[in-house]
Amino acid sequence: MASGFFVLLDDIAAIMDDVAVMSKVAAKKTAGILGDDLAVNAEKASGFASSRELPVLWAISKGSLLNKVIILPIAFLLSAFFPVAIIVILVLGGLFLAYEGAEKIYEFIFPHEHEESEGITDEILTEEEILEAEKGKVKSAIITDFILSVEIVIIALGTVIGKPIAQQIMVVSIIAVIATIGVYGIVALIVRMDEAGFKLIQISKKDKSILKFIGNILVKALPLVIKALTVIGTIALILVAGGIFVHYIPFFHHLAEQIEIPAIIKEFVVGIVLGFAVLAIVNVIKKILPKKAAH
């Protein structure tokens, strides 16, 4: 009886060891997209009043966690019974990411006024107006997170295909948790850099001290970090989308094989071309719909 118990423990230990090894492999495979996820979500979570940064980030984090709860069981079921659907979802998600990236570039080249729901303005707003204004950006962040979460889950799932379902669930779930807690934990640190800097400056009693020096660096660095993350996030959206198109659409896959340039350039070009194509279609639809509504 005792020997059977120890054999069971040994089996459990072996399974957990396998899970740890596979999780490490899956983490390496998803490292790139986790970096993209960080850049995109840090940009999405910025631009709010200091007192609202953490509440907004918490709202996005909860949405991200809910995304994972929705995605994981569906991914396992589709992978087992309808694998083609996984590719379709990936491509549709890629189109959305490419569209978002292209839209950001378009708005940078041809700036125009944003609707209030897209972010927080410089106007003095009531608490109700601030909460209402946040909803648009939070919703956008959660939608983008959903797409990136699908990519993360699918890539992680691809590293454990053929393994027992229990191990698949454990490995992919571990990656999903890391993607949520790790990414948004780092995002929280980034958006609170200036607050940490001000605290260091306040507790520093000398005009020239290490604490004050570090505090000033943190305060001055935050705008630069946010701007950098905005650029990185936009590039990340296009690269992730382009990677999906090149890997999962046969036409682009064969085309990419025939062109002797670095893969990252191929993916960026494909992503930005399709992104602007989708943007053009969306803009045409937006112009047509109001006219129809007017009639």
Name the residue type at position 241: A
> DSSP states of 110-149 as a string?
S--PPPGGGS--SS---HHHHHHHHHHHHHHHHHHHHHHH
User: What residues contact residue 240 under an 8 Å CB cut-off, 6+ apart?
Assistant: 33, 36, 94, 97, 148, 151, 271
Average pLDDT over residues 58-75: 89
CB 142 within 8 A of CB 56: no
User: What confidence score (pLDDT) does residue 106 get?
Assistant: 92
Distance of CA 184 to the CA centre of its chain: 10
Residues 2-43 have pLDDT tens digits of 454 434 444 444 445 545 555 555 555 555 566 666 776 776
What's the length of the chain?
A: 295
User: What residues contact residue 250 under an 8 Å CB cut-off, 6+ apart?
Assistant: none
Q: What is the dihedral of CA 135, 39, 46, 225, to 10 degrees?
A: -170
Residues 213-229 have pLDDT tens digits of 888 888 888 778 877 87
CB 134 within 8 A of CB 120: yes
User: What residues contact residue 227 under an 8 Å CB cut-off, 6+ apart?
Assistant: none
User: What residues contact residue 91 under an 8 Å CB cut-off, 6+ apart?
Assistant: 244, 245, 248, 249
Q: pLDDT band at 137, cuts 50/70/90?
A: confident
Nearest in space to 182 (alpha carbons), one of 23, 66, 37, 52: 37
DSSP state for residue 249 in the 8-state scheme: -
Residues 152-196 have pLDDT tens digits of 887 777 677 667 777 778 888 888 888 788 888 888 888 778 788
Domain boundaries, the chain: 19-294
Nearest in space to 128 (alpha carbons), one of 216, 52, 42: 52
3-state helix, strand, coil in the chain (%, to 5): 85, 0, 15
Q: pTM here?
A: 0.68
- Give the sign of the dihedral formed by CA 5, CA 7, CA 13, CA 16: negative
Residues 175-184 have pLDDT tens digits of 888 878 888 8
Query: What's the token pair of residue 56?
Result: 């907004």
User: What confidence score (pLDDT) does residue 12 get?
Assistant: 44
- Averaged confidence pLDDT in the chain: 77
User: What confidence score (pLDDT) does residue 36 get?
Assistant: 63
The three-state secondary structure class of 164 is: coil
Phi, psi for 160 (deg, rounded to 5): -125, 15
CB 225 within 8 A of CB 31: no
The three-state secondary structure class of 163 is: coil
Nearest in space to 142 (alpha carbons), one of 154, 134, 153, 131: 134
